[in-house]
Amino acid sequence: MGTHMKGRTVLVTGAASGIGKACATLFHAEGARLILLDRDAERVQAVASELAGSEAIVVDVTDPDSTSDCIQRAIARAGGLNGLVNAAGISRWVSFDDMSFAQWREVMAVNLDGPMIVTKAAWPALKEAGGATIVNLASGAGLQPRERFSAYCASKAGLILLTRTLAMEGAAHKLRVNAVCPGIVMTPMVERNLALSGDPQAAYQRYVARNRMGRFGEADEIAQAVLFLSTDASSFMTGSAVSIDGGSVFH
């Protein structure tokens, strides 16, 4: 067990699975006290049980009033907040021709509105902490377009610019804000997209062909970068969008 996060309280959204869960697990191993947020009650409570001393919050990040209330209460119970990881996200694999406005709004609500709502609720405590950090899980799809992912690409590009704007506003309070832009990582969300492709093996090969390392990433590999951006090891970094994608050619 490490000590890089000892004495720090960190809020992780999307903590029930995928990269969010991997971040929570790694941060706990490094000594952090965790507030874990997800709308999947059963899974997030199970993760909190695995990570002793963690608190689970069951709420949908697209609901501003409930989310803000839950976060502020949790911060009060924890006695402050030192870090935030916005990992909650969804994607919809659909052509622009077939996409409805409801599908567009669903993606935007989780991927862009959600981080804004969560960050807004946590912002006062993070400013007060001094030396706090925010890491937003963006995507390589926020740096370069992909077919059939127009809403996802737009939401993640917006999240990168939100990251950089918050970095400017947080600097006076020693609050650093960075983004991580993963390539293809085998998470439940990606598994669902592969299944929806009609030919999962062919879709897998298309994804693999995009990067120089010839494989999917692992959630734990992304979590290591999030940890780095949440510690003093990255003390001169803010407003960055770090690509972790195996050398994907679409960058």
Choosing from 27, 123, 149, 152, the catalytic residue is: 152
Tokens read off for 73? 């209460």
| Collapsed DSSP state (helix, strand, coil) of residue 176 | strand
Closest CA to 169 of 244, 239, 68: 239
Residue whose structure tokens are 């995507």: 139
Cα distance between residue 224 and residue 138, in whole Å: 15
Cα distance between residue 79 and residue 74, in whole Å: 9
Cα distance between residue 249 and residue 142, in whole Å: 14
207 is catalytic: no
Closest CA to 84 of 168, 179, 169: 179
Angstrom distances, CA of residue 132 to CA of 74, 173, 226: 17, 9, 13
* Alpha helices per DSSP H over 130-218: 150-170, 188-196, 200-208
**Which residues participate in catalysis according to the annotation?**
152
